Amino acid sequence: MTTLVENFPGFPEGIQGPELIENMRKQASRFGAEYRMGHLVKADLGMRPFELTIGKDVIQTHTLIIASGASARWLGLPNEQALIGHGVSSCATCDGFFFSGKEIVVIGGGDSAMEEATFLTRFATKVTLIHRREQFRASKIMLDRARANPKVAFLTDTVVDDVLDVSKKEVTALRLRNLKTGESWDFPASAMFLGIGHIPNAKMFAGQLETDADGYLVTQKNVFTKVPGVFACGDVQDRRYRQAITASGSGCMAALEVEKYLEQEGH
């Protein structure tokens, strides 16, 4: 879903997400990497070698690098998916720059929403934080920081019913509704950033690998899981940085550890 990646080192003009991935794939193929597409539905990490069920196929492997990422939570609005990359975003670090000098909106009431709202004031002239309740889940320090920022405004007890305007292929406004009064109105904005969290894609390892309260895989020394031979990298184990370059960096660490592990085990 990533369109223009502006911050991956080595691409001074930026690069489209799919093109970056295709380049990486070609580069790995040149060194003998073999690609198989499929959805991992089950993993048995209790046996050696490990057994992975991918669709209808079962494969065995001595080591495993889990790089299954984390999916952003969306609101499920009728026009939301059509406007991703055209003003609807789940990544302030990635897309904030595109809305320099504009008025934008952040959805959420936790720490990540506060962090995104504060961060986005670097670019936007005004950031309105929209939250469905009156109380915030965010820690006091994060909330106070956002409240002290003159560019951040708050709209509470308010939900988003839809985002406009698909026909123009850009965000022009949000259709809002006040939960206390029932009043509905269109709120002009150039972008809607979601700050309502991510879901790590790690359910297929439930009960076998340690996760934190939000389901992120817990790793030691960056990429080690509790099961020897199983490594995790990227967004599935990193709730803090969530960038292409940090995911690539931890992917490299995992690959180097796999080499060491296979050598030690005599494979």
Which residues bind to ligand FAD, rule: CB under 6 A? 1-2, 5-7, 39-40, 67-69, 72, 89-91, 94, 201, 204, 234-236, 242-245, 247
The CA distance from 81 to 171, in Å, is 12
- Is position 238 annotated as part of the catalytic site? no
CB nearer to ligand FAD: pick between 17 and 49: 17
Whole-number Cα distances in Å, 230 to 144, 163, 219, 226, 253: 41, 42, 10, 8, 13
Beta-strand pair 126-130/103-107: parallel
Joined together, the tokens standing for residue 242 give 């969530």
Q: How far is the CB of 39 from ligand FAD (least distance, A)?
A: 4
Q: Which residues contact 251 (CB under 8 A, 6 or more apart)?
A: 65, 67, 233, 234
Instruction: Kindly give the residue spans of alpha helices, DSSP state H, lying in 2-47.
Output: 17-30
Catalytic pick among 44, 94, 144, 235: 94
Q: How far is the CB of 266 from ligand FAD (least distance, A)?
A: 29
- Is position 91 annotated as part of the catalytic site? yes
Q: How far is the CB of 12 from ligand FAD (least distance, A)?
A: 14
CB nearer to ligand FAD: pick between 143 and 202: 202
Q: How far is the CB of 86 from ligand FAD (least distance, A)?
A: 11
Q: Which residues contact 35 (CB under 8 A, 6 or more apart)?
A: 25, 29
Contact 184/202 with Cβ under 8 angstroms?
no
3-state SS assignment for residue 220? strand
Question: How deeply is 8 buried, as exposed, middle or buried, from its count of CB atoms within 10 A (0-12, 13-18, 19+)?
Answer: middle
- Residue type present at position 137: R
The CA distance from 233 to 246, in Å, is 9
CB nearer to ligand FAD: pick between 97 and 261: 97
CB nearer to ligand FAD: pick between 89 and 118: 89
CB nearer to ligand FAD: pick between 45 and 176: 45
Q: Among all chains, which residue has been given the structure tokens 């669709």?
A: 55
Catalytic pick among 57, 91, 111, 157: 91
Catalytic pick among 95, 111, 235, 238: 95
- Is position 95 annotated as part of the catalytic site? yes
Q: How far is the CB of 67 from ligand FAD (least distance, A)?
A: 5
Joined together, the tokens standing for residue 139 give 């820690």
Give the distance, in angstroms, between the CA of residue 111 and the centroid of all CA atoms in the same chain: 15
Q: How far is the CB of 164 from ligand FAD (least distance, A)?
A: 20
CB nearer to ligand FAD: pick between 69 and 110: 69
Q: Which residue is nearest to ligand FAD (CB)?
A: 234
Residues known to be catalytic: 91, 94-95
